[in-house]
Amino acid sequence: MKKSFLDYVLKIRLPIVLFVALSSFALTYFVSRPERDGVGYEPEQPIAFSHKLHAGTMAIDCKYCHADVTKSRHAMVPPVATCMNCHSVARKNKPEIIKLTQYFAEGKPLMWKRIHKVPDFAYFNHSVHVNKGIECQSCHGNVQEMDVVRQSNSFTMANCLDCHRNAPTVLTYVPNVKKGPDNCFACHR
Ligand code: HEC
Ligand code: HEC
Ligand code: HEC
Ligand code: HEC
Ligand code: HEC
C-alpha cells in the first residue's frame, strides 16, 4: 500500500507537477517578454500629439523639439512653450490645442508618459551616439511614421552589445564608424 502510493507519486504526480510548472514558466516567460523588453509599449498620452504629422508630413527636425539630444545624455521631451511657438496661432480652436493652451496658461507641465528607459545601473548617453552620425531611427524605428510613439527595439544589454560589436556592418551609413565599447565599465560605471 505504502509502496504503490510512492510509485504513484513518483511516476505520475511528479511528472505532471513538473510539466505544469515548466510549461507555465515557459508561457509566462514568452508572454511577458514584450513588457520586459519594452517592445511594443505604446501608452496613451495626455495630448494626442502625432509625430507622423509633425516630424513626417511637416518634416519638423527632431532636434527642434528634442533639443538636448546632441548635448547631453538625455534627448528631453520639449516643454509646452515649444509647442506654443506655433500653436498660439496654429489650430487654436481645436479641442486638443485648447487643452494645450490651458496647460501653458496655468504653467502646468505636460506629464507625457515615458516610453524608452534603461535601468539606472546602466549608463546611456545620446550625444555620443547622435554626434557620431547614428540616426534616431536606428534605435527608435521610424518615429516620423507613428501617430502614437511606440518602442520598436528592445534596449537589453544583448541589444546594445549586438550593435557595439557589429557597428561597422550594422551602421554602414555612418562614415568611419568604429565598434562601440564592450567592456563592462563603459556602461556600468
Ligand atoms: C514638434 C515637436 C517634436 C518633434 C518635431 C519630434 N518630437 Fe519626439 N516627442 C515630442 C513629444 C511632445 C514627445 C512626448 C509625447 C509622445 O511620446 O508622443 C515625444 C516623444 C518622443 C519619443 C519617446 C520618448 C520616450 O518617452 O521614450 C521618441 C523616441 C521621439 N520623440 C523621437 C523623435 C524623433 C526620432 C523625431 C524626428 C523624426 C521626433 N521625435 C520629432 C515632440 C517632438
Ligand atoms: C513648427 C510648428 C509646430 C510646432 C512646434 C508644433 N506644432 Fe502641432 N501642429 C502644427 C500645425 C501647422 C498643425 C496643423 C497641421 C494640419 O492639420 O495640417 C499642428 C497640429 C497639431 C495637433 C492636431 C490639432 C487638430 O486637432 O487638428 C495637435 C494635437 C498638435 N499639433 C500638438 C502639438 C504639440 C503638443 C506640440 C508640442 C510638443 C506641437 N504641436 C508643436 C504646427 C506645430
Ligand atoms: C544608440 C541608440 C539611440 C539613438 C541613436 C537615439 N536614441 Fe533616444 N533613447 C535611446 C535609449 C537607450 C533611451 C533610454 C535612455 C534612458 O533611459 O536614459 C532613449 C530615450 C529617448 C527619449 C526619452 C527621453 C530621454 O531623454 O531619455 C527621447 C525623447 C529620445 N530617446 C529621442 C531620440 C532622438 C530625437 C534621437 C535622434 C536625434 C535619438 N533618441 C537617438 C537610444 C537611442
Ligand atoms: C554597451 C553597454 C553595456 C556593456 C558593455 C555591458 N552592459 Fe551589462 N547591461 C547593460 C544594460 C543596458 C543593462 C540593462 C538591460 C538588461 O537588463 O538587459 C545591463 C544589465 C546588466 C546586468 C543585470 C542583468 C539583468 O538581467 O537584470 C548585469 C549583471 C550586467 N549587465 C553585467 C555586465 C557585465 C559583467 C558586463 C561586462 C562583461 C556588462 N554588463 C557589459 C549594458 C551593458
Ligand atoms: C545602433 C548601434 C548602437 C546601439 C543600439 C547602441 N550603441 Fe552605444 N555606441 C555605438 C557606437 C558606434 C559607439 C562608439 C561611438 C564612438 O566611436 O565614439 C557607441 C558608444 C557607446 C558608449 C561610449 C560612450 C563614451 O562616453 O565613450 C556607451 C557608454 C554606449 N555606447 C552605451 C550604449 C548602451 C547602454 C546602449 C543600449 C541601451 C547602446 N550604447 C546602444 C553604437 C550603438
Q: Measured in angstroms, how far is the CA atom of residue 158 from the centroid of ligand 1?
A: 25
From residue 5, give the alpha-carbon distance in Å to each of 2, 18, 21, 34, 37. Answer: 5, 18, 22, 43, 45
CA angle, 63 then 64 then 69, to 5° = 30
- Ligand 3 center from residue 116 Cα (angstroms): 7
Q: pLDDT-based confidence at 98, cuts 50/70/90?
A: very high
Q: Which residues contact 151 (CB under 8 A, 6 or more apart)?
A: 38, 39, 40, 41, 42, 115, 116, 140
Q: Which residue has the cell 511614421?
A: 145
For ligand 2, mutation pick of 60, 82, 83 (most atoms within 8 Å of CB): 83
For a ligand 5 pocket test, name from 37, 117, 129, 162 the mutation site with the most ligand atoms within 8 angstroms of its C-beta. 129
Radius of gyration of the chain (CA): 24
109-147, pLDDT tens digit by residue? 999 999 999 999 999 999 999 999 999 999 999 999 999
Percent of the chain with pLDDT strictly greater than 70: 92
Q: Is the pLDDT of residue 27 over 70?
A: no
Nearest CA to ligand 3 atom 43: 139
Q: What average pLDDT does range 54-76 have in this prediction?
A: 96
**Contacting residues for 43 by C-beta, under 8 A, at least 6 apart:** 113, 115
Minimal CA–CA distance to 62: which of 160, 170, 146? 146
Q: Are 52 and 147 in contact (CB under 8 A)?
A: yes
pLDDT the model gives residue 33: 52
188 lines ligand 5 (CB under 6 A): no
Give the pLDDT score at 104: 96
